[in-house]
Structure 1
Amino acid sequence: MSRPDSPQCPTASRRHRQKELEVALFFTDIDGTLLNPERTLSERTIHAIRDIRSAGHHFVLCSSRMPESMRILERLYDGVDEPLIAYNGGLVLSRTGQVVHNVPITPRDATTIAQYCEDVDLHASMFAGEDWHVWADDRWTAREINNTGVRPRDLSSQDYIASGQVDARPPHKIMCMGEADLIDGLETLLSPVENVVTYRSKDTYLEIANAGCSKGMGVAAAAAELGVDASDCYFFGDNYNDIPAFSAVGTSVAVANGKPEVLAAATVTTARHHDDGVAQYLEEWLRRA
């Protein structure tokens, strides 16, 4: 009779085949988690992601960014064949670019926000699927172009609303940018509105999305699309909007520069984003696998 650890043992063979078939799915936030000080991917991070994918595992970006801004990063490691989780889970695209999860802001709420911004002269960028509509050719637009590498559509936010395109293609995210007191007023206006959630990344920035979406929902949708169990999923994050994703995966990883609440919620902590914390974790994980 062959021993349990013998190559001829059926049980050992099944365990070996199961190990070979195990596929891990790594999700990561981008800003504050994955990028280096130059706001791109370091060579170390690119190599680590490529090694993970070469080993047969998935690496999926999950961000408040629009899809094209994320694809710019994917192209650095040849990863455009993976799903994308954009707009904090408001839009999930399959490996072939098909919509598998879609939770936009209602046209009525978008119009209310645009009217406030018109009244007080606050910049409101409207992100709808693959399209970015800006308020004006101003410093806020220039800053976002520099940060994301994407250029807006010719149709302004105001014309996007006035033309009725907001009804046919409602926005997944509205980014309002301006003086802090004007942002305060918009937060006050939206505080009783049940359909929207706001996230203030800076005193002068307010991100607005449908309250029915989250990174956790986006992660669950992408994992289901790839057929990977939550226990085999990992999520890297640094900020409050990453916490819902932590509860949707088997292992949550906070970068050391994360908010205290994020560090407390994570399963483990890796190095800071500017010290290639995600790459360090991936390298060690592959050594253990």
Structure 2
Amino acid sequence: MLHSDKIETKGQKVGMNMTEKSVIFFDIDGTLLNHDKQLPLSTREAIFKLKELGHIVAIATGRAPFMYEDLREELGINTYVSYNGQYVVLNGEVLHTNPLNIPSLEKLTEVALSNNYPVVFMDHEDMKANVPEHDFISESIASLKIEHFPSHDPNYYKGRELYQTLFFCPEGEEKPYEQEFKDFDFVRWHPLSVDILPKGGSKAKGIEKIVEKLRIPAERQFAFGDGLNDLEMLSSVQNSVAMGNAEDTVKAVAKYVTKSVEEDGILNGLQMVGLLEP
């Protein structure tokens, strides 16, 4: 379906010349992968068809690169925005990084630990927890259904660039930290966990680095997403598509709304915008 107040006046789907190269950015969780963290067959086939037509397929996710290496290999994707824009790779080469402020992070970690709230430090290769074990970490990470689980290294933040930190606390408990630590943005992704990111970083900023390098015009840029961390991306990319399973606030900023991930939403959305034939 389409947003009636935004595009129904056009009367039809976008008319695209499918021989022109476009770049399409896909979120992972709730967009490429369903709620069981499985890749629907229709999505897989649609991705390969896009590539066959000469389009550039990219990923834009809050995940770390090591959390979706298998998915990139399965789909043959080597251009991606990780950590909500803090680690950007184009054609297998690092294009842009935006690390966290370490002194501020060190102070936040001390305050969090005094309240029995753990953190997990993350760079492009691994993630390490500042405590040996904690129920909040176990429950949150388990929901991602990934093989990686953070081992214990409270000093992992020293001498390296970190692009994201996971802060584990119940909903609402992050508010005092948001007030005190202005270097960071706090984005909740689980009832017990919040992403800590450099202030002002977003998928949109990471995408901007890629499209500048590729020199693909705005009308040939597409993005699919479903989560709150997709708001900036769907607001800034000209041809934005919200999944049917997205929250209403996410649908409100997108140009199009497709079906849910469980109902072949990617295939439907690509047909809707004219990148694939029905």
TM-score range, shorter chain: 0.7 to 0.9
CA distance in 2, matches of 1:277, 1:21: 23
CA distance in 2, matches of 1:157, 1:230: 43
2:87 matches 1:91: yes
Give the secondary-structure state (helix, strand or coil) at the position aligned to 1:129: coil
Which amino acid in the other structure matches residue 67 of structure 1? P
CA distance in 2, matches of 1:193, 1:138: 24
| Correspondence for 1:50 | 48
2:177 matches 1:177: no
| Correspondence for 2:207 | 219
CA distance in 2, matches of 1:253, 1:242: 10
CA distance in 1, matches of 2:121, 2:52: 37
2:122 matches 1:127: yes
Which amino acid in the other structure matches residue 64 of structure 2? M
Q: Alpha carbons of 1:129 and 1:66: their partners in 2 closer, same or farther (altered >3 Å)?
A: same
| Correspondence for 1:116 | 111
Structure 1 alignment gaps of length 5 or more = 1-18
| Correspondence for 1:278 | 266
Q: Which moved more, 1:57-66 or 1:131-140?
A: 131-140
| Correspondence for 1:28 | 26
CA distance in 2, matches of 1:193, 1:118: 15
Q: Alpha carbons of 1:64 and 1:157: their partners in 2 closer, same or farther (altered >3 Å)?
A: farther
CA distance in 2, matches of 1:131, 1:160: 10
Shift in Å, 1:200: 1.5
Verify the 8 A CA contact 1:127 1:174 in the aligned structure 2.
yes
Q: Alpha carbons of 1:195 and 1:268: their partners in 2 closer, same or farther (altered >3 Å)?
A: same
Verify the 8 A CA contact 1:52 1:282 in the aligned structure 2.
no
CA-based RMSD of the aligned residues comes to 2.4
| Correspondence for 2:65 | 67
Q: TM-score, normalised by structure 1?
A: 0.81
Which amino acid in the other structure matches residue 94 of structure 2? V
Verify the 8 A CA contact 1:230 1:248 in the aligned structure 2.
no
Structure 2 counterparts to residues 201-212 of structure 1, below 5 A:
201-212=189-200
Shift in Å, 1:201: 2.3
Verify the 8 A CA contact 1:90 1:214 in the aligned structure 2.
yes
CA distance in 2, matches of 1:141, 1:128: 19
| Correspondence for 1:159 | 155
Shift in Å, 1:157: 4.2
CA distance in 2, matches of 1:184, 1:116: 16
CA distance in 1, matches of 2:142, 2:125: 15
Structure 2 alignment gaps of length 5 or more = 1-16
